[in-house]
Amino acid sequence: MTRLVTHDLAVHPTRNERAAQDFTSSLRGHVLNHMAAQLKTRFETEIAPRLPEPPTTGRAVHAAIREDEYFRFYSALRIGAQEMVWSSVGDAVARDAESLKARAAALSADRSRAQGTLSLDPGLEVPRNVSAIDVHHMPGSYSAQADETDLAAGAVYENGLSVFSFGLMGQNLDDIGESSAFWLKTTHPEFQLKAILDLGCSVGHQTLPWARTYLDATVTGIDVAAPCLRYAHGRAQSQGVTAHFVQADATALPYPDASFDLVYSSMFLHELPLKDIRKVFAEARRVLKPGGLMLHYELPPNNQLSAFDGFYLDWDCWYNNEPFYKGYRDQDPAELCAEAGFAPKGFFQTVVPSLAWYGEAAVAQALAGPASIGGNTGRLADGVQWFVYGNWA
């Protein structure tokens, strides 16, 4: 079911809109669990045996399956559900647009709740990977704004994410940040963090768990999209968490060398062209203090998955307006880190079970054992596990 956004920037859907949201969440849950499993079985038992030789790449699986009627039905439903994610929240956000601005301004001014800041750069050129496409079919992408106070794109993103994730992102849509911070605190209790940077933070939902986990750290989220950052600031203030939101491009960070202990991102890299990913890694390396950590939650790479599972995750590149998805997933994370100047001995990757799904005790127990990529790794489906990798500086 859709998790309701409950903080002070919540919008007010009608009963029909709520019904549309719940229907869309349920449809996505059905498609991504039941139909995805059927699709795999169908490929393995009916399609692959008819091929002259087993496909060894995701591209070959796609070529073999793309005309299959069940795959076409699956894809049509999934594309339809994706469009319904945004249409089910858009009207409520539009109706509340002016009220959202007023509430955000009041939250920003209320220093009794939290001491967060917002720093926008109207001269920043929004890169075309954000401005030139409706990323994952989200109308207007992250950055469209009617005026200099607009935060509707942030509201569309957060409310859309709550429909999209059908309950798998935790009560506060922050399960990736919560799980990542829990992993770091549990596995590296000695690591002292004073300054944390979250790249491509959008509405700051995965940023705030870092501030909640590392109470002594200054936490900053950057993004190119001003409406998302306005929303992120109000959202953080509403939740009583001090965090700082800055409009900046992760390929050219406005910070001196050796400024941060942790440079983090979640669900960010696969939305960048490869040339920008390389710049982001180099910038992360530059702004990290010696002994600091670059850490990314991302989709697992193709070279560590079966041809079918690689194809399955690349679906978004072909059908969900995510043109850089496959280009990113075709890379080897360890090589990207090494190219940016990180020492290969400091590279690691792991799988972190979702805190929201499994609970703290089970996750702590899992973290004590070996981690390996499994069927649920990086897939938004029941029992999700997050793929995390990084490099110590």
Interface residues with ligand SAM (CB under 6 A)? 127, 129-130, 142, 176, 200-202, 206, 222-225, 228, 249-251, 266-268, 271-272, 276
Beta strands at 117-119 and 244-247: parallel, antiparallel or unpaired:
parallel
Residue 138 Cβ vs ligand SAM, minimum distance, rounded to whole Å: 9
Task: Return the number of the residue (64 or 224) whose C-beta is nearest ligand SAM.
Answer: 224
Residue 34 Cβ vs ligand SAM, minimum distance, rounded to whole Å: 25
In the block, tokens 């719940």 appear at 22
Task: Return the number of the residue (11 or 222) whose C-beta is nearest ligand SAM.
Answer: 222
Task: Return the number of the residue (13 or 221) whose C-beta is nearest ligand SAM.
Answer: 221
Residue 343 Cβ vs ligand SAM, minimum distance, rounded to whole Å: 25
Rounded-to-integer distance, Cα 270 and Cα 387, Å: 13
In the block, tokens 């004073």 appear at 194
Task: Return the number of the residue (65 or 246) whose C-beta is nearest ligand SAM.
Answer: 246
Task: Return the number of the residue (253 or 363) whose C-beta is nearest ligand SAM.
Answer: 253
Residue 353 Cβ vs ligand SAM, minimum distance, rounded to whole Å: 17
Residue 194 Cβ vs ligand SAM, minimum distance, rounded to whole Å: 22
Kindly state the tokens that stand for 326.
């496959």
Positive or negative torsion for Cα 219, 252, 205, 166: negative
Residue 151 Cβ vs ligand SAM, minimum distance, rounded to whole Å: 13
Task: Return the number of the residue (158 or 261) whose C-beta is nearest ligand SAM.
Answer: 158
| β-strand partners of 349 | 389
DSSP 191: -
Task: Return the number of the residue (139 or 291) whose C-beta is nearest ligand SAM.
Answer: 139
Beta strands at 385-392 and 347-353: parallel, antiparallel or unpaired:
antiparallel
Q: By three-state DSSP, how is residue 183 classified?
A: helix
Q: For residues 196, 102, 15 and 92, what is the CA-based torsion angle, rounded to 10 degrees?
A: -80
Residue 339 Cβ vs ligand SAM, minimum distance, rounded to whole Å: 18
Rounded-to-integer distance, Cα 60 and Cα 65, Å: 9
DSSP 218: E
Q: For residues 264, 267, 272 and 276, what is the CA-based torsion angle, rounded to 10 degrees?
A: 10
Q: How many other C-beta atoms are found inside a 10 Å radius of the C-beta of residue 187?
A: 14
Q: Nearest to ligand SAM by Cβ — which residue? A: 200
